[in-house]
Structure 1
Amino acid sequence: MRVFKKLGWFFKLEKKSYLIGLLMLGLVALMELVPPQVIGRVIDLITTDTLTSNTLILFGVMLIIVAVLTYIFRFFWRIMIFGASNRLGLTLREQLFKKYSSMSPSFFGKRRTGDLMAHATNDINAVQMTAGAGILTIADSVITGGAVLITMALTVSPKLTLIAMIPLPFMVILTSWYGTILSRLFRVAQAAFSSLNDKTQESIAGIKVTKTFGYENEDLKDFADLSDDVVNKNLKVAKVDALFDPTITAIIAISYFLSIFFGARMVIADEITLGQLVTFTTYLGMMVWPLLALGWFFNLIERGKASYERIEDIMNTASDIDDGVTTDRLPSGNITFDIDRFAFPGEDEVSLSDIHFTLKEGETLGIVGHTGSGKSSLIRLLLREFDTADNNTVRVNDIDIKQYDIKKLRHLFGYVPQDNFLFSTSIKNNIAFTDPDINIEAVYRAADLSYIHEDILSFPEGYETVVGERGVSLSGGQKQRISIARALIQDPEILILDDSLSAVDAETETAILKNIEENRSGKTNIITAHRMSAVRNADLILVMENGRIIERGTHESLTQDQGWYYDTFKAQSLRQHLVKDLDETLERGDRNDS
């Protein structure tokens, strides 16, 4: 019953619906007490040869009225109780999605996508069943069962009622034991389902890689193994679940035997009439559902308890990002990094050290270095995907970014990450993601600035072309340029391109950077890249290695220093010229052949 206590906040919100529903349920229970009484009376009138046509018609009308009222009351209790439980599902889904949206990247790094999806589907459905069918079963068991027992005792025989109820304590003990086992097994089964869910999501997302490597059979075997594991664990749940009905049926059978055996002796002894014995056995038959409902209740309650605990575990997880706003100022101005030492949460290895620089408002910052040098780590700190310790600060306009409202801070940025995520919708909707109602001309302009407009027009459906999940139907360069257009359409104060030009050729890169330079005058840009050509016009260039700044300056000063930047730029320029010469040679050869 602990899960009901935990859901107390919701029952208070929906107390009117539940009270009306329970009232209707009680009236249904009262209505159901009438037919057995009518049957008993009719039998007694028949045995005494006193049944008349008028009396029979009266009883018939009474049963029709009871049937109509029962229909009405049942309709309303279903609307009230099941309607409330559906609203619980809605509330939990909204709360869970809001929680997901507020969590930092480290949370998603520790949790599997399939597991998070299982929380939002299976677990919420189990809790919803507890608040709907669970309330119904326990209320029906108590109200109907209690009303039937009291009526049996008052209208037939208290002694016979006590005799019939002798087996019930054994049923309570056994079903409670089954429930304890069921709770443990259900948690294991839900965890297995989460693993299968995660495997399914991962396999579908990576289907192109799987096919490329010819790994379909192995992937299918892994899926089959996980699926078998889910089935086996759910079979264990089903085996325990299957014990409820036979146990209850056996208990009721014993009660029937006791009732008929001792009831017949009481009829012979003139303690009760034959009609009363028929009424009693009819009432005893009505006890089947309350007792079965009681068993079902233990099943639902244990499932709901296990699922709600899994949901609570998510809801009670604190975010790594502390949104303790201490200033009402809007974030704008110079960006300053003062970081002596930074390691990601849960890691001992230092990711950044001795990072000290200031980027003036309206300037362009270029960050270059090998893969893993710390370029993206700087960006993630600026976006507050992670927070620094107290002795390390990232400031905007000389105010620690942790003091700003996080939504206002992130509203500054137009961010294009390395992993260009596109939604399964039209290209137009992907570009206009931050403002779906924006003028189509603004969409065209953003696409033109990112050098993707002509590509889009070449598609059969143009801007209404629906991309596959994560943009699977587009090339890497097209996905990057659509992502850049999505950032540019915001006209952000700070544009961040995190290695977002790696999949385009040098000519396209130059065109995009020229458009950005011409159309973002007075606004700040941050570009991380592997190609030096992407940052050569930056006001400040940082060269990073192993989380440190090993060189800094402009393109001219860095080439004069003849360090890592100069060597890399020279090598890349030479490679570019060689590729260009090779292309020209091949083109001349093709012309000669023709």
Structure 2
Amino acid sequence: MKLFSQLRWFFVLEWKRYLGAVTLLIVIAMLQLLPPKLVGIIVDGITHQQMSGRTLLLWISLIVGTAVVIYLLRYVWRILLFGASYLLAVKLRNNFYNQLSRQHPNFYLRHRTGDLIARATNDVDRVVFAAGEGVLTLVDSLVMGCAVLIIMSIEISWQLTLLSLLPMPIMAIFIKRYGDELYNRFRVAQAAFSLLNDRTQESLTSIRMIKAFGLENYQSKLFSDVAIDAGNKNMHVAKVDARFDPTIYLAVACANMLAIGGGSWMVINNQLTLGQLTSFVMYLGLMIWPMLALAWMFNIVERGSAAYSRIASLLTEAPEVVDGELSLPPGRGVLELNIIRFDYPPAEKPVLENIQARLEPGKTLGLCGPTGSGKSTLLALIQRQFDVTQGEICYHSLPLSQIKLDEWRARMSVVSQMPFLFSASIAENIALGNPSVSQDEIERAAALACVHEDILNLSQGYQTEVGERGVMLSGGQKQRIAIARALLMESEILILDDALSAVDGRTEYQILQNLRGWGQNRTLIISAHRLSGLLHASEILVLQDGKVAQRGTHSELAEQMGWYRNMYRYQQLEAALDE
């Protein structure tokens, strides 16, 4: 029952729908009390031969009319109630997506993709089902059960009613115990489902690698183990679930036995008429649904509560990077880096130390250094995926920590070494950040990224579907399409995180030349292992062990003793040997 308290915010938000549905449920419950009463009148009238055929037809017509009205009202309340629960699904999933979009890399280290998908789909469905069917069964069972009890006690016999309800307290104790056990087992089952979902997602996304290494049987065994474990845990849930109905039916059978036995004795002793006993048994039949509904309600609400607790644990998790409150002024600004220290918690060793740089509009900053030197971390700090431990990064002289995240990230475009392409056409992927652009603008951006000719050679040109994650394209084509996508956004800052690693040297040179013309008055940050991509950078930072080991232009660094000159000469020799 805790779920209804947890969803109080939604019930308040959609109170009109729920109030209308509950009102109709009460009206329906009252109308359902009429047929047993009318049947009792008919039985007594026929038994005593005091009812004419016309009167009998009138009572039967009233019963049929009541059934038709109940049918129509049920149709209306279903639209109201389940319409509201579907809105809950939309709100929960929107909140869930917004929460995921606010989170940062550490969050995704703790939560796997399959688990997040399971919470956004299966868990939300359970909560929505509880908010719809759960509310229905709760109101319907309480209103119907209380109304029937009142009618049975007042109109017929309170003694017989009390006798018939003797099994109910025992049933309630068992139902409560089953509900608590179901909650715990269902949480475990949902966690197993998340693991199964995650295993499925990993297997599908890495199927090419699995086949390349001949790991099909090994992966099938791993998947089978997870699937069997999930099946076993769901079977534990089913075993608890299976106890509800037998317990209720046994209680109902005992209640009917006591009602018929006690009622027959009262008819023999002239304390009840046969018609009254008939009505009482019919009313008792109406009690079967409230009791079944109550047990069912406990079942689905406990499942929904377990699912909601899994969703709420993510929705209440505060993002590590807190949004700022300041808006950026219009126009291009100066990007200033003053990083005294940055470390990933809970590590104590700093990843970056004493990084200072000033980048004006129209300038290019190059980043290079050995693997693990801190280049990607520095770019992550500029994107504000993390906050600087000591020091600050400023734009327009405003610290990034005080700037609204959406506004800051709208000022930049980022192309990573492993770009992500959606399962859509090439044109849709390029226009992702600016869907309203024309085909000519898309092709112009593709030409700047030197991928226009490659696209025209594909079967359907710009309308070619790239498949999931761009599976039908080469690494270099994916990188260039991602660059075209970034260029089309016309951002003030363009970040290339080793985004030309899969491109040949001639194509790389042409793209960089195009970027020099495109990037006038724009800030360009290039991280690269291949130093030929940094030849025209305004300033190059050589990072080693998280510190700036060298800095200057290409010509300056090529003359200095150190890592840059050694690596540049090595790459030149390698290129000469390749030729």
Aligned residue in 2 for 1:506: 505
Aligned residue in 2 for 1:207: 207
Q: Deviations over 1:336-357 (max 9, x none)?
A: 2111211123333321112122
Residue 480 in structure 1 maps to residue 479 in structure 2? yes
Q: Deviations over 1:442-499 (max 9, x none)?
A: 1111100110000000001000001111111100000000000001112221111100
Aligned residue in 2 for 1:470: 469
Q: Give the match's secondary structure for 1:497.
A: strand
Unaligned stretches of 5+ residues in structure 1:
581-594
Deviation of 1:434 after TM superposition, in Å, equals 0.9
- What amino acid maps onto 1:190 in structure 2? Q
Aligned residue in 2 for 1:574: 573
CA contact (8 A) 2:328 2:396 kept: no
Aligned residue in 1 for 2:160: 160
2: CA distance, partners of 1:410 / 1:75:
48
Aligned residue in 1 for 2:233: 233
Q: How does 1:413-492 map to 2 (within 5 A)?
A: 413-492=412-491
- What amino acid maps onto 2:199 in structure 1? K
Deviation of 1:328 after TM superposition, in Å, equals 4.9
Q: Deviations over 1:153-181 (max 9, x none)?
A: 12211110110011111111110000000
Deviation of 1:134 after TM superposition, in Å, equals 0.4
Q: How does 1:131-170 map to 2 (within 5 A)?
A: 131-170=131-170
Q: Give the match's secondary structure for 1:551.
A: strand
Most deviating of 332-341 and 359-368:
332-341
1: CA distance, partners of 2:334 / 2:461:
40
Q: How does 1:284-433 map to 2 (within 5 A)?
A: 284-326=284-326, 328-330=328-330, 332-389=332-389, 391-433=390-432
CA RMSD of aligned residues (A): 1.2
2: CA distance, partners of 1:400 / 1:51:
90
- What amino acid maps onto 1:446 in structure 2? A
Aligned residue in 1 for 2:186: 186
Aligned residue in 2 for 1:17: 17
Deviation of 1:72 after TM superposition, in Å, equals 1.3
2: CA distance, partners of 1:344 / 1:504:
32
Q: Give the match's secondary structure for 1:226.
A: helix
Aligned residue in 1 for 2:57: 57
Cα distance 1:276–1:102, how it changes in 2: closer, same or farther (>3 A)? same
CA contact (8 A) 2:328 2:408 kept: no
- What amino acid maps onto 1:198 in structure 2? D
1: CA distance, partners of 2:39 / 2:554:
100
Deviation of 1:281 after TM superposition, in Å, equals 0.8
Q: Deviations over 1:547-573 (max 9, x none)?
A: 111111111111111321111111111
2: CA distance, partners of 1:73 / 1:334:
66
Deviation of 1:359 after TM superposition, in Å, equals 2.1
2: CA distance, partners of 1:92 / 1:293:
26
Q: Give the match's secondary structure for 1:392.
A: strand
2: CA distance, partners of 1:28 / 1:492:
61
Q: Give the match's secondary structure for 2:455.
A: helix
CA contact (8 A) 1:431 1:485 kept: yes
CA contact (8 A) 2:329 2:396 kept: no
TM-score normalised by L of structure 1: 0.96
- What amino acid maps onto 1:362 in structure 2? G
Aligned residue in 2 for 1:91: 91
CA contact (8 A) 1:24 1:73 kept: yes
- What amino acid maps onto 2:57 in structure 1? I
Q: Deviations over 1:261-319 (max 9, x none)?
A: 11100000000011111111111111111000010011111111111111111111111
Aligned residue in 1 for 2:493: 494
Deviation of 1:334 after TM superposition, in Å, equals 2.2
Deviation of 1:331 after TM superposition, in Å, equals 7.3
1: CA distance, partners of 2:145 / 2:413:
64
Residue 262 in structure 1 maps to residue 262 in structure 2? yes
1: CA distance, partners of 2:21 / 2:327:
49
Aligned residue in 1 for 2:41: 41
Residue 562 in structure 1 maps to residue 568 in structure 2? no
- What amino acid maps onto 2:476 in structure 1? G
- What amino acid maps onto 1:354 in structure 2? N
2: CA distance, partners of 1:295 / 1:146:
16
2: CA distance, partners of 1:256 / 1:346:
66
Deviation of 1:327 after TM superposition, in Å, equals 5.3
- What amino acid maps onto 1:116 in structure 2? L
- What amino acid maps onto 1:372 in structure 2? G
1: CA distance, partners of 2:144 / 2:418:
60
2: CA distance, partners of 1:394 / 1:15:
47
Q: Deviations over 1:382-423 (max 9, x none)?
A: 01011113x311122332122222222112212101221001
Q: Give the match's secondary structure for 2:346.
A: coil
Aligned residue in 2 for 1:587: none
Deviation of 1:324 after TM superposition, in Å, equals 2.5
Most deviating of 339-348 and 211-220:
339-348
TM-score normalised by L of structure 2: 0.98
Q: Give the match's secondary structure for 1:324.
A: coil
2: CA distance, partners of 1:134 / 1:68:
25
Aligned residue in 2 for 1:590: none
CA contact (8 A) 1:331 1:397 kept: no
Aligned residue in 2 for 1:521: 520
2: CA distance, partners of 1:497 / 1:111:
28
Deviation of 1:332 after TM superposition, in Å, equals 3.5
Deviation of 1:576 after TM superposition, in Å, equals 0.4
Deviation of 1:105 after TM superposition, in Å, equals 2.0
Unaligned stretches of 5+ residues in structure 2:
none
CA contact (8 A) 1:331 1:404 kept: no
2: CA distance, partners of 1:478 / 1:99:
32
2: CA distance, partners of 1:131 / 1:347:
44
2: CA distance, partners of 1:126 / 1:346:
36
Q: Deviations over 1:212-253 (max 9, x none)?
A: 111111111111111111111011001001100000000000
CA contact (8 A) 1:331 1:408 kept: no
Aligned residue in 1 for 2:108: 108
Give aligned pairs, total: 579
1: CA distance, partners of 2:123 / 2:412:
36
CA contact (8 A) 1:330 1:404 kept: no
Q: Give the match's secondary structure for 2:300.
A: helix
